[in-house]
Amino acid sequence: MTGYAVITRETAGGTLTIELKSVNSRFLDLQFRINDELRALEPVLREAIMARVTRGKVECRLSFGRKIATGTGQGLNSTVLDSLVKLHADIRTRFQDAPPMSVNELLRWPGVVEEAEIGQETLQAEVSAAMSVTLDAFVESRRREGAALEAMLLARIGDMETIVQRITPLIPQVVAQFQQKATDRLQEALGLALHAGDGASSPTLSRDEVLDRIRQEVTLYGIRIDVSEELTRLSAHLTETRHILKKGGQMGKRLDFMMQELNREANTVGSKASVKELSDSSMALKLLIEQMREQVQNLE
């Protein structure tokens, strides 16, 4: 799920800034934007993030602006400055038309302005402390979004339960209607076969054979269009999905599995649909499941 947090804190050696942001992803994908001088701290940051986050494409930015050293010389490195002045004089001797360096150019020269010294261990401790605070804010921002996603998912579950409750009482009636139609059509078709044998040396089908054939065909047809079991499993899966959301904790992978099961049952209802209302209901169920699936991938 998406999340964002940024923390800036002043340390003895300079200004430390850590920024975390994430977008949706089924798995944990970490990316770091760190200056080369701070690259050694990446394992510390990676370990801290993996301890608190299990899903999402997370980008971590770390920057450290060192303070100018205080004390004598007003923060200037006299050795580097003297060397730079000598080099500048040598160049002006060889290239008399070369313009002199400005004060601004001198100050920007690497090493001219002394920076505050900070040990690696001290810097790592400062980064770890700042990262802990940043992760707290980051996780809280994801928790707020998670609460909104939970409300949306529960609403979709409620919509699906309403659909299932509406069409469940229709199933016996639909099966009975189609069995009656099938019986009438089979009696007509097989009755013709029975009458075709009249007057012949041997009848094509006896009356008992016709009735038995009708019972077999009607029973098989009724089984093919009966979706009572699918609707029962749908209700059970919806109840379990609601339970997973209410229970909390790491639920992303479990909800992924439930979406697969819900979609399987909804597809079966659609494939067995013998009336338009069942077909429309299957389409509505699959639409709601797809909406849930898109958001479930954002949850941990």
| pLDDT for position 269 | 86
Under a CB-based contact definition with an 8 Å cutoff, are residues 234 and 268 in contact? no
Residue 195 lies in a domain: yes
| pLDDT for position 275 | 77
| pLDDT for position 265 | 92
| pLDDT for position 197 | 53
Domains: count for the chain: 3
Are residue 8 and residue 51 in the same domain, yes or no?
yes
| pLDDT for position 48 | 93
Under a CB-based contact definition with an 8 Å cutoff, are residues 149 and 1 in contact? yes
Are residue 219 and residue 292 in the same domain, yes or no?
yes
Are residue 265 and residue 231 in the same domain, yes or no?
yes
Other residues' Cβ atoms within 10 Å of the Cβ of residue 234: 25
Residue 197 lies in a domain: yes
Are residue 175 and residue 257 in the same domain, yes or no?
yes
**Beta bridge mates, 29:** 57
Strands 3-10 and 56-66, bridge-based pairing: unpaired
Are residue 130 and residue 154 in the same domain, yes or no?
no
Residue 43 lies in a domain: yes
Range of the domain at 81: 72-108
Are residue 55 and residue 86 in the same domain, yes or no?
no
Are residue 200 and residue 268 in the same domain, yes or no?
yes
Task: Give average pLDDT by consecutive 10-residue segment, the chain, 300 residues.
Answer: 85 83 84 86 92 88 70 58 77 79 67 56 84 92 85 93 89 73 67 54 58 66 73 92 85 87 91 82 93 79
Any idea what the CATH number is for the domain that residue 28 is in?
3.30.230.10
Beta-carbon-side half-sphere exposure of residue 85 (alpha carbons within 13 Å): 8
Residue 113 lies in a domain: no
